[in-house]
């Protein structure tokens, strides 16, 4: 009988210990869930994903979510009197999706409808200001580049030609002094203006080559650039922002290497901010060369709303530091499923928390004695704390269709939901 009592005592201790372990583990789990702070949002209409956010970063949104989400943003922007300019790869498909999603008044500029001309209907001074802004965004731009480009605009004007990116790309840079001489002889300019133009155009050869290359690069990148003789039908970022009837302009930019063309677009956005013209700028691209340098004025501009929509975080952002800078400037970050490397990068922006780990150890043991089985209760519980990411990379890789994590400025923790039509 004593033997059976010993076994019973051991089983009772084991059962009591099992219950205690479960209680400790549940407590640790509750502590960890509270520390992570992930809020379950459940089903969220795709059209409301970007509503109420002036600066959004969207990673990995599938096509069926992207169009209605942008449509919701566009409707909100137009309702408050702000036009929307969308810069996109494959813009025609996106424009069709936006129309299908219910966006009114969508204007597309692409190779089939070359309507984009940032210099159309600008005064010489306004065109020069825009070109100076654009050239500042170009890597390694010479100091004299802006003044040189402004002089080219003035020469075009004196020849009776409109300011145009395509015409600037065709300028006879090696014969400009001859052009100025002919203008002076015909009375189109006086001696003082001729001298001023020559002074602006007398720049080092490297500067002349840089400006010439900038405009040629813009033309080679931009099949959407308008014909110089069709300037009355053109559109631009500034035109959209100043329009009395806010609408949506979609620009087809193959943005992978479109540095010169994007410099023009972002310089226009910078001028809109400077002159307090309401604008929402959306960039939909897989990658953009020199993105952080090109778009830095957009990130720091006051009064401009924007949304950056891309697929893989690591293809678009060159480093964790670059991604963190844009996250810090965003009021909302939405992250859908990511690939292996991008998931590791994207998960870092959701931060870390102190995770409690619980381990159990046992000392002593059981054996047979005078009264049967002896059971020694030598168990201990150890709690340790380690830093862990709030959203783990494997969670981002495993997200299902439409599932996302969201980080909202001004709100603690992250949220999780699923976008629905």
Same domain, 168 and 281: no
Q: Are 149 and 106 in contact (CB under 8 A)?
A: no
Average pLDDT estimate for 364-369? 47
Compute the distance between CA of residue 363 and CA of residue 369 in angstroms, rounded to an integer: 18
Same domain, 109 and 148: no
Q: What are phi and psi of 120, to 5 degrees?
A: -60, 135
Same domain, 125 and 207: yes
Q: Are 268 and 117 in contact (CB under 8 A)?
A: no
Compute the distance between CA of residue 63 and CA of residue 4 in angstroms, rounded to an integer: 68
Which residue blocks in 39-123 are alpha helix, DSSP H?
A: 63-79, 91-100
Compute the distance between CA of residue 2 and CA of residue 384 in angstroms, rounded to an integer: 41
Least confident of 195-204, 238-247, 295-304: 295-304
Report if residue 69 sits inside a domain: yes
Compute the distance between CA of residue 271 and CA of residue 233 in angstroms, rounded to an integer: 22
Q: Can you read off the two tokens belonging to residue 262?
A: 């994007």
Averaged confidence pLDDT in the chain: 87
pLDDT tens string 156-170: 999 999 999 999 999
Same domain, 197 and 247: no
Q: Which domain holds residue 287?
A: 54-116+224-351
Report if residue 254 sits inside a domain: yes
Residue 376 has pLDDT above 60, yes or no: no
Same domain, 212 and 248: no
Q: Which residue has the tokens 């003082």?
A: 192
Compute the distance between CA of residue 273 and CA of residue 74 in angstroms, rounded to an integer: 18
CB-based contacts of 135: which residues, under 8 Å, 6+ apart? 141, 145, 146, 149, 211, 214, 263
Q: Can you read off the two tokens belonging to residue 359?
A: 């381990």
Least confident of 2-11, 132-141, 254-263, 402-411: 2-11
Compute the distance between CA of residue 91 and CA of residue 111 in angstroms, rounded to an integer: 10
Least confident of 7-21, 68-82, 333-347: 7-21
Report if residue 82 sits inside a domain: yes
pLDDT tens string 396-418: 999 999 999 999 987 878 999 99
Q: Report the CATH number at residue 98.
A: 3.40.50
Same domain, 175 and 296: no
DSSP 136-191: HHSTT--TTHHHHHHHHHHHHHHTT----HHHHHT--GGGHHHHHHHHHHTTSS-H
Compute the distance between CA of residue 414 and CA of residue 402 in angstroms, rounded to an integer: 17
Same domain, 112 and 123: no
Report if residue 377 sits inside a domain: no
Same domain, 101 and 233: yes
Report if residue 160 sits inside a domain: yes
Compute the distance between CA of residue 319 and CA of residue 313 in angstroms, rounded to an integer: 9
Question: DSSP secondary-structure letter at 244?
Answer: S
Residue 374 has pLDDT above 50, yes or no: no
The last residue of one of the domains, among 202, 221, 240, is 221
Same domain, 326 and 259: yes
Compute the distance between CA of residue 383 and CA of residue 205 in angstroms, rounded to an integer: 70
Domain count, the chain: 2
Residue 20's pLDDT is what? 59
Same domain, 169 and 147: yes
- Whole-angstrom CA distances from 108 to 85, 88, 96, 390 are 10, 11, 9, 41
Same domain, 199 and 140: yes
Compute the distance between CA of residue 281 and CA of residue 308 in angstroms, rounded to an integer: 9
> Coil, strand, or helix at residue 388?
strand
Least confident of 254-258, 267-271, 273-277, 355-359: 254-258
Which residue blocks in 227-335 are alpha helix, DSSP H?
A: 237-242, 259-274, 291-300, 313-316, 320-329
Report if residue 74 sits inside a domain: yes
Least confident of 76-80, 295-299, 360-364, 412-416: 360-364
Residue 393 has pLDDT above 90, yes or no: yes
Report if residue 394 sits inside a domain: no
Report if residue 215 sits inside a domain: yes
Q: Are 282 and 307 in contact (CB under 8 A)?
A: yes
Same domain, 153 and 278: no
Residue 94's pLDDT is what? 92
Helix or strand holding residue 29 (H, E): helix 2-36
The last residue of one of the domains, among 302, 336, 351, is 351
Q: Are 359 and 384 in contact (CB under 8 A)?
A: yes
The gap between the terminal CA atoms of the chain, to the nearest Å, is 70
Compute the distance between CA of residue 136 and CA of residue 298 in angstroms, rounded to an integer: 14
- The number of residues in the chain equals 421
The last residue of one of the domains, among 221, 237, 269, is 221
Compute the distance between CA of residue 96 and CA of residue 67 in angstroms, rounded to an integer: 9
């Amino acid at each position: 009988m004593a033997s059976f009592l010993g076994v019973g005592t051991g089983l009772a201790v084991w059962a009591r210990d099992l219950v205690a372990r479960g209680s400790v583990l549940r407590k640790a789990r509750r502590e960890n869930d509270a520390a992570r702070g992930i809020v379950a949002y459940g089903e969220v209409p795709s059209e409301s994903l970007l509503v109420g956010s002036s600066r959004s970063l969207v990673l990995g949104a599938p096509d069926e979510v992207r169009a209605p989400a942008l449509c919701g943003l566009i409707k909100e922007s137009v309702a408050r009197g702000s036009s929307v300019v969308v810069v996109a790869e494959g813009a025609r498909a996106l424009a069709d999706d936006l129309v299908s999603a219910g966006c009114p008044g969508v204007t597309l500029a692409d190779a089939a409808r070359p309507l984009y001309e940032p210099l159309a209907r600008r005064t010489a001074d306004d065109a020069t200001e825009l070109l100076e802004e654009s050239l500042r965004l170009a890597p390694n731009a010479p100091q004299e580049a802006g003044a040189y480009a402004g002089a080219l605009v003035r020469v075009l004007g004196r020849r009776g030609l409109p300011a145009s990116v395509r015409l600037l790309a065709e300028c006879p840079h090696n014969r400009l002094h001859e052009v100025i001489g002919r203008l002076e002889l015909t009375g189109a300019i006086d001696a003082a203006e001729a001298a001023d133009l020559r002074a602006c155009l007398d720049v080092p050869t490297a500067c002349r080559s840089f400006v010439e290359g900038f405009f040629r690069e813009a033309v080679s990148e931009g099949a959407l650039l308008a014909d110089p003789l069709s300037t009355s039908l053109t559109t631009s970022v500034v035109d959209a922002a100043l329009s009395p009837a806010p609408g949506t302009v979609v620009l087809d930019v193959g943005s992978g290497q479109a540095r010169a063309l994007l410099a023009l677009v972002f310089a226009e956005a910078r001028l809109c901010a400077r002159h307090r013209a309401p604008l929402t700028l959306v960039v939909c691209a897989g990658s953009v060369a020199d993105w952080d340098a090109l778009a830095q004025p957009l990130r720091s501009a006051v009064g401009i709303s924007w949304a950056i929509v891309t697929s893989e975080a690591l293809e678009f952002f060159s480093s964790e530091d670059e991604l963190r800078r844009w996250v810090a400037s965003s009021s909302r970050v939405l992250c859908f499923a990511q690939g292996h490397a991008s998931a590791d990068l994207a998960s870092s922006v959701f931060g870390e928390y102190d995770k409690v780990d619980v381990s159990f150890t046992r000392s002593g043991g059981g054996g047979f004695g005078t009264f049967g089985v002896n059971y020694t209760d030598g168990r201990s519980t150890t709690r340790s704390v380690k830093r862990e990411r709030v959203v783990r990379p494997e969670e981002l890789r495993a997200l299902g269709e439409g599932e996302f994590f969201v980080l909202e400025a001004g709100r603690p923790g992250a949220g999780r939901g699923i976008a629905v039509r």
